[in-house]
Structure 1
Amino acid sequence: MSPTQSTVLVVDDEQDVADLYTMWLQDDYRVQSVYEGETALDVLDESVDVVLLDRRMPGQSGDEVLSRIREQDLDCRVVMVTAVKPDFDILEMGFDDYIVKPVSKDDLHEIVSRMLTRVDYDTKLQQFYSLVSKRAVLEAEKDAQTLEASEEYAELTDEIEALRSEVDSTRSELSDHEDFVGAFQDL
């Protein structure tokens, strides 16, 4: 996934904060800012890859927005970026990461990059397992001579090996155990 093709939605009722995050990220991503939860849900669609979500907002809180995002089964990563210190209530929340304000420009870039790496890994891993499954079905139904003579089977095997290399490469980009575990939880 190319960063310039990735879309980040910043949701924070403090307009200055949301605009600052947007300014920090706009050179590397498509960024949209909204200043309330209800508006975030109105603009959120499949094009959004990462949501940076404030937790404490008037009207619809970040917690409520997060619940609605997960209910809609949107395929985006949600990072709570908030001044609210985490407590045990976060165990039941469906966010992908949680960072406490204040946040630096470098921290924001790092978290968005990490979330996009996880998205990329998830996609590649799902494709890989789909192709491996297809190969296993063919191997169970066809004899070795038929498989060896098949151009389609050779292309499938080549595609599996290329994707295996991409998956391994992306996995190495996952910087720590939490990223790796998080990526598998997403699956």
Structure 2
Amino acid sequence: MNEHPPLILVVEDERDLADLYAAWLGDDYRVRTAYGGQEALDQLDPDVDAILLDRRMPGLSGDEVLVEVRERGIDCRVAMVTAVEPDFDILEMGFDDYLVKPVTKEALRETVEGLLRRGSYDAGVQELFSLTSKRAVLEAEKNASELADNEEYQRLTERIEELRADLDRVLSEVDEHDEFEQLFQGFDG
């Protein structure tokens, strides 16, 4: 078990905003701050548990940083925290959550807590959370006609239903309280 609080990497080219996010999180987490994409990659290592990543930055964009994070195989959760309105391009991106600026302290802290919780789930549940988050963002930003006409959105919805069915099947196999306790017995700290 890790004796240190989780490590959050805040990546934001607006220094005042990056420092504000770090201050909001600093009481409960270890925080590294990067004021640009290349600086973020320089600070990226396996100790990072979650990244709050601005999408639009000069030089190396948040999208490019995200690709590099995934290519390096760093096992951390990523939330895009950005003024860029989401579009269907987010469906192909490897982030876990998406916040549109401006964000409140409460929203930022809830996002970090959610990212850290997701990091403890298995891959299928992580994918379900990630895809459900993407669908929610698109549904908040797009009208019903745009959603209905988009094939990628339809595939997203189908994949969510597949993952939910798999999860329901697994949970139904654990049909008694004792079996459920036995399943999670090894996770007690």
Residue number in structure 2 paired with 1:21? 21
Judged with a 3 Å threshold, the aligned counterparts in structure 2 of structure 1 residues 33 and 166 are, in CA distance, closer, same or farther, namely: farther
**Superposition CA RMSD, Å:** 2.7
| Count of residue pairs the alignment pairs up | 134
Residue number in structure 1 paired with 2:87? 87
Residue number in structure 1 paired with 2:30? 30
Residue number in structure 2 paired with 1:164? 183
Say whether the 8 Å CA contact 1:4–1:28 is kept in structure 2: no
The alignment partner of 1:5 has SS state of coil
Question: TM-score scaled by structure 1?
Answer: 0.65
Judged with a 3 Å threshold, the aligned counterparts in structure 2 of structure 1 residues 89 and 27 are, in CA distance, closer, same or farther, namely: same
Give the greater-gyration-radius structure (CA): 1
Question: TM-score scaled by structure 2?
Answer: 0.65
Shift of 1:163: 6.8
Say whether the 8 Å CA contact 1:82–1:99 is kept in structure 2: yes
Deviations 1:8-38 (A, max 9, x none): 0000000000000000000000001110100
Higher RCO (C-alpha 8 Å, min separation 6): 1
The alignment partner of 2:98 has SS state of strand
Shift of 1:53: 0.2
Say whether the 8 Å CA contact 1:83–1:102 is kept in structure 2: yes
Residue number in structure 1 paired with 2:75? 75
Judged with a 3 Å threshold, the aligned counterparts in structure 2 of structure 1 residues 163 and 96 are, in CA distance, closer, same or farther, namely: farther
Distance across 1 between alignment mates of 2:104 and 2:6: 20
Residue number in structure 1 paired with 2:118? 118
Distance across 1 between alignment mates of 2:87 and 2:35: 25
Shift of 1:122: 3.2
The alignment partner of 1:115 has SS state of helix
Judged with a 3 Å threshold, the aligned counterparts in structure 2 of structure 1 residues 4 and 113 are, in CA distance, closer, same or farther, namely: farther
Shift of 1:119: 1.1
